[in-house]
Amino acid sequence: MENPPDSNEFTSTRYFPSRRRVWQACTNCRNRKTRCDAAKPRCSLCTTMDTDCIYKDSQQPRIEHNTRIMLERIQALEDRIFSSGVVVQPAQAQTQDRTAQPRNDAEHDPSSFGGDQQNAMDEAPDGDTQIEIPISHTANGNHVLNWPIVRQLLRDSGILATPSQPLGDMPSTAATDIFFRSNDYKTNEVPPESWRLFQHHHSQGPPETPDRLRDCIHTYFEQVNVFFPLLSLDAMNALLDRKGPENQELGVPLVAEDYALLLLVLCLGQFVRSGGSTIHLPSEASSFSPQDEDPWAPHSRLWEKARLLLGFVSSKTTLEAAQCSMLASLYMGARGRVSDASQWAHATAVKCEALAKKYLMERRDSDAFPEAFRRLFWVAYIYEGDFVAEIPMPLPSGISRYEESVPYPTRAQPSTAHMGGTPGSEVTVPGTSTFDRTEELVPFQISTNAAIRRFLNRIQNVVYDSKDYRSRMTRANYANWLLRIAEDLWSHHSAIYRNLPDFLLKSQPAVPHFDQASSPDTPGIQAIPELANNPWNVLRLEGRYYAAQYIIHRPFIEYVLLNLDHFETHPCREDIQRRCRLCLQGCKGFINVFDRDPANSITSLFASGLVTFTMVIILRVASVCPPLQAAMPGEIEDVISTGKRNLKRFSGSVREFRWHMEVLDQLDLACQGLTTDV
């Protein structure tokens, strides 16, 4: 008999079923054009002639030539994919990448947690394992708003009605669509005449003087750079020194990226100086009073000038261009412009991904990345990750592909070589030692927040991947799998916070005036400030702790709501209720942490506000669901009121939160008097 064809060789029998044996003719009969009875082991003709009876694969049905070429190419592509091991062995490929690119940080990789249990479920998501946010990502607010019990409670309110209903079974995205529909922001209809400093915008507002601009730079580093340590104070002062009041540039002219950076730093500094980042709770008499939208405000005029240069540098893939887009995102986020901030954040992440690839092509080691890029990369990673978690982004930027390659920042300040500083341009400023002292916190602050953000991304990828999230919940052993995964994630989450340095959770005392900063026992000797963190940074770290606690255990709340009929007889009922309690306690802790007045909009209140909105919905649903009432923490009504008050405060920056407050009010009305299953 003939040897079977090679597995990689294209044959029609691999795609079409073989015809019955009796319909085939052996080679001898076919050559003689004689009818073959297809007997075994030999047909009658071959027996009579005493010859070997050989059957070959039938080529019927006949395949068109173009179809054959297409199938051959598809087969070759499949063979190449499966032979590379990327699909069949993603874990091994990931391990090899980590071995080739060792990190210099001490955190454990949370993706290793729950690996055995995930294989046991046989539900590991395929695709690019380097992208930690799934492509089919659903924002947290939209996900909870689409719970059947929530939609049933809000059914009669009409608040979720949209002008055009989604087709088929597509879930509603009303919780995030509101941020992309608002277009009533005040803007200047006439663009500025020039991007240059010391040239007034239609002669409106106070004049720009070097002293006023220098004050804006120092305000930026005191109130903005402390949260997003991207730039150097000396470098920014050097740029301003090169700009004379008569627009006489000293030395080499400023390139567009440096000029745009200077304008954006001045813009953010002026925004903080004007009180735009301080968000108070509106009084009942004043109702809502969003921050000032005066288009002639100094920071607005500086922003209009910066926009002229942002368009010019947006197509450049340089470190300075990426820093410009990052500062633009920070400014838009501080002003509550969610759609603009997310677009600039996405653009920054795309540039960082391209720059990381460029640096690795030049040098294949961790020293290939400048300090300034390390800071920018991780700040952009954290900032975009916060947006992606709460907004259904169409596609990830790809920045997470290089999270294993780009090291965390060190103690050194960002390089100022690209700023073009000239000798003698440095200035001595009172209180600069405070900035130097703050520099010691930068590596710890960035690495800690990046580790937490990476961990949250992995939770989204492992637990909330919408490609198979629903199918997992229908499995009989889903509860056991979820309990094991949650235990591993919770252990890793606790380990991160146990290993935090104490000074990151210690708030800075009030900074004394410079004249009073010296020691009373040793006049003239300035006291060294104690190493401590900014109070708002401490608050954000605490908030991330409770946010992770809530995200890890939220699937248990949904599991209970989908199994109300037989939950009382569930064999894991007590364990599930304990996890539900941890989720609700995380909601309570997060809401209480942000019960502070005033709030600081520099770090963007969008993510905190939308998380608060989601948590209040969960707490309200739990209050009317008997299986969850036993897991509820105390004073739940006070916590819900606090959450709504926080959201009202945040609406002073992000005005779209007024819609979310209306949803919560309608939900409260629907839940009044409900004590049984909905």
Domain extent, residue 59, equals 12-116
Q: Is the residue at 5 inside a domain?
A: no
Total domains, the chain: 3
Q: How far apart are CA 451 and CA 571, in angstroms?
A: 35
Q: Are residues 158 and 216 in the same domain?
A: no
pLDDT beneath 70, residues of the chain? 1-24, 57-71, 73-137, 157-158, 160-171, 182-208, 244-252, 284-296, 365-366, 393-396, 411-437, 465-476, 509-529, 674-678
Q: How far apart are CA 503 and CA 507, in angstroms?
A: 8
Domain final residue, candidates 429, 462, 485? 429
Q: Are 111 and 124 found together in one domain?
A: no
Concatenating the DSSP letter of every residue in 536-548 gives HHHHHHHHHHHHH
Domain containing 31 — which CATH number? Answer: 4.10.240.10
Q: What is the pLDDT of residue 132?
A: 43
Which of 116, 133, 151 is a domain's end point? Answer: 116
CA dist., res. 347 & res. 475, Å (int) = 40
- Quote the pLDDT of residue 366: 65
What is the structure's pLDDT at 613? 96
The CA distance from 92 to 94, in Å, is: 5
528 assigned to some structural domain: no
pLDDT score at 114: 37
pLDDT score for 109: 39
d(CA 608, CA 549): 15
Please identify, among 384, 401, 429, the residue that sits at the C-terminal boundary of a domain. Answer: 429
Task: Judge whether 627 lies within some domain.
Answer: yes
Domain assignment of residue 582, yes or no:
yes
Residue 127 has what pLDDT?
Answer: 37
- pLDDT score, position 667: 92
**Does residue 651 form part of some domain?**
yes
- Do 54 and 27 meet the contact criterion of CB atoms below 8 Å apart? yes
Residues near 369 by beta carbon (within 8 Å), at least 6 away in sequence: 356, 359, 377, 406, 407
Residue with token string 């907004």: 391
Domain for residue 148, yes or no? yes
Residues 199 and 149 in one domain: no
Do 401 and 455 share a domain, yes or no? no
227, 232, 238, 242: CA torsion to nearest 10: -60
Residues 228 and 86 in one domain: no
3-state secondary structure of 465: coil
Same domain, 139 and 221: no
Q: Which pTM does this prediction carry?
A: 0.74
Q: What angle do CA 280, 283, 289 make, to 5 degrees?
A: 65
Per the DSSP assignment, residues forming a β-bridge with 136 are none
Within a domain: 250: yes
Per-residue pLDDT, 37? 78
Do 600 and 650 belong to one domain?
yes
Q: How far apart are CA 160 and CA 175, in angstroms?
A: 9
CA distance 678 to 672: 12
Say what the pLDDT of residue 585 is. Answer: 95
Neighbours of 484 (CB within 10 A): 17
**Residues 220, 254 within the same domain:** yes
Instruction: Let me know whether 420 and 449 are in one domain.
Output: no
Q: Which residues pair with 526 in a beta bridge?
A: 518
Question: What pLDDT, on the 0 to 100 scale, is given for residue 355?
Answer: 94
Q: In Å, what is the CA distance from 286 to each residue of 29, 289, 450, 652, 662?
A: 99, 7, 39, 11, 18
The answer on 148 and 74 residing in a single domain is: no
Which residue in this structure is represented by tokens 């405070």?
434
Same domain flag for 124 and 204: no
1 found inside a domain: no
342 and 330, same structural domain?
yes
